[in-house]
Amino acid sequence: MQNEAFLLQCLAAQRSKYTTAKKFNIWKMRIILISSIASFTTCFIKCYTVIAVLYLFTIIVLIAVKYLDGFIAKFQKEAAQIQQYFDTSLYSCVLEENKESWGHIMSEYEITDVVSKYRQNDLSEFKNWYSDYSSITPIEQIFYCQRENICWENELKNSFLNLCSVIVIMGTIILLIMAICFNTEFYKIIILLALFSPFIEYCISSIYFLKKDISDNRLINENCNVLEKKKLYDIKDLINVQDMIYKYRANNYIVPDFYYKIHRDKQQKKEDNKAKNISERLNINNKDQEG
């Protein structure tokens, strides 16, 4: 069912929404980068008028960044709602249940309206969105699709957090070297830090939210581990897990597209192999129980 035309169009619309959110995030990064480069001029000039203008520019950048954050949050939430519709359509079909019981569901009119705006002809990249769990029970299929979402996010966020940490460390070292090489006076260092406040705030907030996402992801994963161990999870348990995943998607830190694409094929291959191993193991266990 996951390869039905309308559901693939839903994924295309979801991708478009996330891409738009990421574009706003890229513009946010560009504005901050321009502000940071302009701030370097304070190491070479003694004109207080120019420094005053840079201070004004820094304030404008901080305001612009908050404005862009609103657009990012809007498109991200809309993308999460579309993904929720896709997931719950699959899950309710497998269980022959009403998808409204899953919560946070767009109406048929709303989803049709959104999909119509982002309709695509080539949907090949969205086929087989989830790995193949068709050989196991319906409840197990849903549960391991949910776990696949969690694993994807965990790998991606940990990797990107490491990259951000390296960038922050390198940036700090470069600033210190510049301060020493140019024999920068203390008050100029303070001015430079003030002018660099958008960049500093961006780095600190990125690391904070990535760590928060990893922590939230860990909580969802721990909840799934408890359910897996008791082997008696039911629809209510799955709905609870899906609710946690939806809230996570709607508010998590957005990793840039270029970084996602670098890791996508490798991670998907890993998840497909994992799905085969899980299916084989569960089928053996089910046969043993029947025997």
Query: Is 289 a member of any domain?
Result: no
> What does the pLDDT read at residue 184?
62
Query: Is 209 a member of any domain?
Result: yes
> What does the pLDDT read at residue 30?
86
Query: Is 125 a member of any domain?
Result: no
Rounded to an integer, what is the distance from CA 8 to the centroid of its chain? 20
The predicted-structure confidence for 107-156, as pLDDT tens digits, reads as follows 888 999 988 988 888 888 888 888 888 888 888 888 888 888 888 788 88
Query: Is 207 a member of any domain?
Result: yes
Maximum distance among all Cα pairs of the chain, rounded to whole angstroms: 86
d(CA 190, CA 182): 15
Query: Is 129 a member of any domain?
Result: no
Query: Is 128 a member of any domain?
Result: no
Residue 205 CB partners (closer than 8 Å, separation 6+): none
Q: Considering only CA atoms, which of 79, 72, 80, 78 is closest in space to residue 202?
A: 72
> What does the pLDDT read at residue 32?
84
The domain in which residue 103 lies consists of: 5-119+137-282
> What does the pLDDT read at residue 141?
86
CA 229, 232, 236, 238 dihedral sign is positive
| Encoded tokens for 165 | 């940490």
Residue found by looking up tokens 């039905």 in the block: 4
> What does the pLDDT read at residue 77?
92
What pTM was estimated for this model as a whole?
A: 0.82
d(CA 172, CA 254): 24
| Encoded tokens for 113 | 């309206």
Query: Is 290 a member of any domain?
Result: no
Domains of the chain: total: 1
Name residues of the chain where pLDDT drops below 50: 291
> What does the pLDDT read at residue 159?
87
> What does the pLDDT read at residue 180?
73
Query: Is 31 a member of any domain?
Result: yes
d(CA 152, CA 127): 17
d(CA 206, CA 11): 27
Burial 261-275 (b: 16+ CB within 10 A, else e): eebeeebeeebeeeb
> What does the pLDDT read at residue 233?
72
Query: 3-state secondary structure string, the chain?
Result: CCCCHHHHHHHHHHHHHHHHHHHHHHHHHHHHHHHHHHHHHHHCCCCHHHHHHHHHHHHHHHHHHHHHHHHHHHHHHHHHHHHHHHHHHHHHHHHCCCHHHHCCCCCHHHHHHHHHHCCCCCCHHHCCCCCCCCCCCHHHHHHHHHHHHHHHHHHHHHHHHHHHHHHHHHHHHHHHHHHHHCCCCHHHHHHHHHHCHHHHHHHHHHHHHHHHHHHHHHHHHHHHHHHHHHCCCCHHHHHHHHHHHHHHHHHCCCCCHHHHHHHHHHHHHHHHHHHHHHHHHHHHHHHHHHC
